[in-house]
Amino acid sequence: MSLPVHDPIPAPYRVAAIQFEPKMFAKEANIETLLALCDEAAANGARLIVTPEMATTGYCWASRAEVAPEVEPIPGPTTDRFAALAARRGCWIVVSLPEVAPATGVYYNSAVLIGPHGIEGLYRKTHSYISEPKWAKDGDLGLPVFDTPLGRIAMTICMDASFPETTRIPAVNGADVICFPTNWLSEKAPSPTWMARALESGVWFISANRWGAERGVQFDGGSCVIAPDGTVQSSLDVGDGIVYGEVDIARGRDKRPRPGRSDDLLADRRPELYGNLTLNAYLWNAREFHGLDDLRPLPDGRRSRVAVAQFAPAAGDIAANLARIDAALAESGAELLVAPELAISGQVRDRDEAARLAEPMDGPIVARLREIAARRGAFVVAGLVERDGDRLFNTAALVGPDGLIGRYRKTHLADEDRAWATPGDEGLLTFDLPFGRIGILIGYDALFPEAARSLALDGADLIACPSLLNWPPVQPWDATAIPLPSYLDAGRTDDHFHLWRERGRENNTYIAFANGGAPWMGWSGVFGATPEDEPRQEAVVHGAAPGTATLTIDTTNLDARATTNPARAKDLVRMRMPIWYDPLQAPTDERTASLSGAREPVASGARPVGN
């Protein structure tokens, strides 16, 4: 049976994330404390309550034999106790525990959604962290969405959030709320990764993290409720406690990230371009895979300087804009410079203005850009209005000392583009330069995690992102009392969340984000390819003033049998589970077109939904 197209939208309701430090070998005491905290949350009006990952038993188990006394079936004794509480309080509770499947004896790291009438859904962690393979099998239930009176609820667990697919697929299948039991570590929390998962798909994200240390592993705390725009509604830094928030399902179903605009984070997807998202491109040595049959080997790579130029392109003043690009190259001494979106033409307001400034790729604008690149002995990515017959494109040209290397036509169009531009028709492209393989995304493109992922799977060492954006904003965060690794700043930081940093981390790909300065938000930067548990490598222009940021990137080590260079090895990309990712490249239909207004999705299936 299918869900109705216009199912009733629940009224706003209170939710709670439980923060708790469980103790190993103290299961009964852990469960008693969790039951008490959940009962308190329900007594205070919480209708949906999320507890931390493996909170009934602790987490750092060394083997199947060690965890064997702790595992339970679902349903089982522990879920029965939480079901009794949910029935008595009329609430829904997400509990995470080590599960055993009685028919096979296989163990899983699992989360169960329990409602007033019993178990509503089961999820098994899909993407294992380093400790799970000591005892647990990767989840085999996919990424389901469960229809409830509180809206459509999905669950993901801890490391799952490092992979955009684990939130994106439930969102495409109609999820309103992501419940996130976690044992997150090695960075200040709320993690910017959690914030990225919420805002890129416009979902509520309820993160219940543990705190404290276990077997020498320090956990981050920072449990929180994150709104669909990626802002933290409420949080708790350290200690056992309850974080309350209010979920408004109607707000989440409107996938327009900013009022008064028609941009839509689901309807504007381009699934026809995402054909490699179900491929395991990094199961093999990168040199051997990409060089198979000598069809398109990766460049050998080297250390090189990459810069971004931040300025506000002057509308229609091509000479002034080219001069600024030239000056930025001279200042940075970079081998590659990325300039803002439409850096040569300036932003245009309508088709008439765009047509007046438009030129073909073999016109004088690109020729002048080529002269700059040749004189400076460098490569440049810069944007212009491109004319191709009667069509106009928002295009980024890639030029080098020897001329035009290629172009990328913006594929995901925002409101400003739809007034004049044709959607890009050449796909998501990568280009080979002496120092590595680069992809290009323009502005709004980067809000779609599928786009950067596609380029990473194609071997991109670096993604250039010329942009003119004021959203999503860079967000600060206060100090934490958690003892973080020495390479991390535990104090207040003004750029705790930066979406383009997250795009680099999740794809093990350098990101060169060149944004417009005021009146745009600025915050341009070159971000490293390292994940969240390693020291950051980046250079950032703080704020919206004009400036440049330059970083030396490293794309060497390709010749090693087992490369240790993150940009080349792409460990996180290799650990994806694409067996579950089919919905990301399925053709857009009513279900994926929009979750707002008269364009409500049809989520197929009964319970679970869309799996």
The full DSSP string for 536-577 is --EEE--SSSSEEEEEEEE---TTSTT---HHHH-HHHHT--
Cα first-last separation, the chain: 13
For residues 55 and 89, is the Cβ–Cβ distance under 8 A? no
Residue closest to 432 by CA, chosen among 403, 460, 456: 460
CA 105 to chain CA centroid, nearest Å? 34
* Rounded Cα gap, residues 353 and 521, in angstroms: 24
The pair of structure tokens assigned to 296 is 């398109």
Which residue in 21, 27, 38, 53 is the catalytic one? Answer: 53
Q: Is 188 a catalytic residue?
A: no
The DSSP secondary structure of 380-414, one letter per residue, reads: EEEEEEEEETTEEEEEEEEEETTEEEEEEE--S--
Q: Is 341 a catalytic residue?
A: no
Cβ(203)–Cβ(194) below 8 Å:
no
Nearest residue to 364 (alpha-carbon basis) of 342, 347, 346, 387: 387
**Does residue 91 carry a catalytic annotation?**
no
Active-site choice (70, 99, 120, 158): 158
518 vs 535: CA distance, rounded Å: 30
- Could you tell me which residues are beta bridge partners of residue 180? 207
- Residue 410's identity, in one-letter code, is K
Q: Tokens standing for 601?
A: 């999705």
Closest CA to 35 of 75, 83, 71, 97: 83
Tell me which of 27, 72, 99, 125 is the catalytic residue.
Answer: 125
d(CA 480, CA 420) in angstroms, rounded, equals 47
List active site positions: 53, 125, 158
